Amino acid sequence: MFQSLRYSNFILRLGLAIVFFWFGIDKFFHPDYWVNAWVPQSISSFVISLKIRPIDIIYISGVFEILVAVSLVSNIFIPFFSSLAVLFLGSIMFFHGFSEVLVRDIGLIGAFLSLIFWPRQRNYW
């Protein structure tokens, strides 16, 4: 059983890390796409009123997603970054409403919740 928990934890973390690396890095290669396709107009207006460019929000979320991925790969601060990722994904779901993004994010939230509640008695990797 120890081997099963060890490998399943690693595979779960690696899968989530790949998703978050992909989206985080893509935000730096295609920031205009992310602003135009994913940032709601209400958020853009609010951010502009604070004298912040909407593209800066994309860069900040890209850095955050890369930090989450690094945490998952290195197995450091998993509960902390998983909790932040749940809040981040929850906020995306809140602002975008019901769509295919909602379904994707529910699955990702479930995976992060499993990491938050993963038993920590032993060093699994």
pLDDT tens for 7-27 read 899 999 999 999 999 999 999
How confident is the model at residue 125, as a pLDDT? Answer: 52
The answer for residues whose C-beta is within 8 angstroms of residue 74's C-beta and 6 or more apart is: none
Nearest to 109 by CA among 76, 87, 78, 77: 87
So what's the pLDDT on residue 122? 55
Q: Which residue has the higher pLDDT, 81 or 5?
A: 81
Range of the domain at 37: 2-116
**Domains identified in the chain, total number:** 1
| Percent over 70 (pLDDT), the chain | 94
* Per-residue CA distances from 11 to 27, 94, 115 (Å): 25, 28, 11
Residue 122 in any domain: the answer is no
SS3 56: helix
* Burial per residue of 73-101, b for 16 or more beta-carbon CB atoms within 10 angstroms, e otherwise: beeeebeebbebbbebbeebbeeeeeeee
Domain contains 124? no
CB atoms within 10 A of CB 13: 23
- Whether 40 maps to a domain, the answer reads yes
Please report whether residue 26 resides in a domain: yes
Q: State the burial class of residue 116 (Cβ atoms within 10 Å of its Cβ: 0-12, 13-18, 19+).
A: middle
